[in-house]
Copies of this chain bind each other. A is one copy, B any other.
Amino acid sequence: MALEKSFNDAMNIRVQHVEKIIKDYLPKEEGYAERVAEAVNYSILGSGKRLRPILMNETYEMYGGRDKVIEPFIAAIEMIHTYSLVHDDLPAMDNDMYRRGKKTTHAVYGPGMATLAGDALLNMAFEVALKAFEISPDKTTEIIKACRILADKAGIHGMLGGQAADVDAEDRKRFIDEAELLFIHRNKTAALLECSLMIGAVLAGAPQSEVDKLEEIGKSVGIAFQIRDDILDVEGDEKILGKHVGSDAENQKSTYVTLKGLEQARVDVETLSQEAIELTKKLSARNDFLDEVIEYLINRVK
């Protein structure tokens, strides 16, 4: 309990740190385009666990990163995560009116403006990341590499590809087998976690072999995180989760639990979790808090 409290405190300090940075890169609500700036700021502020920016900052610091070159990327990764949620909630997709107890962007600003707010966030992620060249002209090579990881992991070969397979299966009532479900989880969920861990290391100048290991860790953690999500949809506590439970079953959606059963799902989460933890031990740098975040992500009850 004391341990949990100290973990929560450590998390809160980090949330405040990255939120301050993210705010520095948000658009001013002024001029003729003020409404979309409002919708952007509404979407990104006031909720969110900031896991991706925190993971990025952890690997940056553990490999000795100290200057401000990380800051635009901290903002950029949260912008990409946020745009994906804003578009996912649209009437054309999941049509969700609430997320984490807060009205979704389209519920407040309408679906047209919410589409544009998502577009603005995605575009802004690159606009902001490219500012890093100005902040640290001596790190051009590292920044180019980080920008390319960002674009790759967010796009059709990463997050967006996973999301597209998911939407396609739903649109065309296509059955999803285990291989496709793992593809979706790996891309939709794991890709941005991989991206965060990798960019922090790249910007701190870590060697490629470390970046590769972090990619593997992000992959295991992301898939385990998503299987955990499927488990929570079956046995989670609505009050703790703050959302309706059982929606996957109601929607007859293939999940890890429906495909492999609850017991096997639990075993696989544990295996993936162990793989990730074993891999962190092989990294050339240590960061106990990173291990704790990984444990938290995999064993969370909400």
A residues with a Cβ closer than 8 A to B are 27, 31-33, 35-37, 40, 83, 87, 90-93, 106, 110-116, 118-120, 122-124, 126-127, 130, 133, 140, 144, 147-148, 151-152, 154-156, 160-165, 167-168, 170-172, 180, 183-184, 187
Known: A33-B164, A144-B133, A151-B130. A156 touches B112 (CB 8 A): no
Residue contacts A-B, CB under 8 angstroms, 29 given: A33-B156, A33-B160, A33-B164, A33-B168, A35-B172, A36-B161, A37-B156, A40-B156, A90-B92, A91-B92, A92-B111, A93-B115, A113-B167, A116-B164, A118-B119, A119-B119, A119-B122, A119-B160, A120-B156, A122-B123, A123-B154, A123-B156, A126-B126, A126-B147, A126-B151, A127-B152, A130-B147, A130-B151, A133-B144
CB neighbours of A116 from chain B (8 A)? 87, 160, 163-164, 167
User: What are the residues of chain B within 8 A of A93 when measuring CB–CB?
Assistant: 112, 115
Most chain B CB atoms below 10 A, which of A130, A133, A187: A130
**Residue numbers in B under 8 Å from A184 (CB-CB):** 32
Q: Which residues of B contact A170 (CB under 8 A)?
A: 112
Contacts of A152 in B (CB 8 A): 127
Q: Which 10 A-B pairs have the closest CB atoms?
A: A36-B164, A92-B111, A33-B161, A32-B165, A127-B151, A123-B155, A35-B168, A126-B126, A33-B164, A92-B112
Please give the count of copies of this chain that the complex contains. Answer: 2
Give the chain B neighbours of A33 by CB distance below 8 A. Answer: 156, 160-162, 164-165, 168, 187
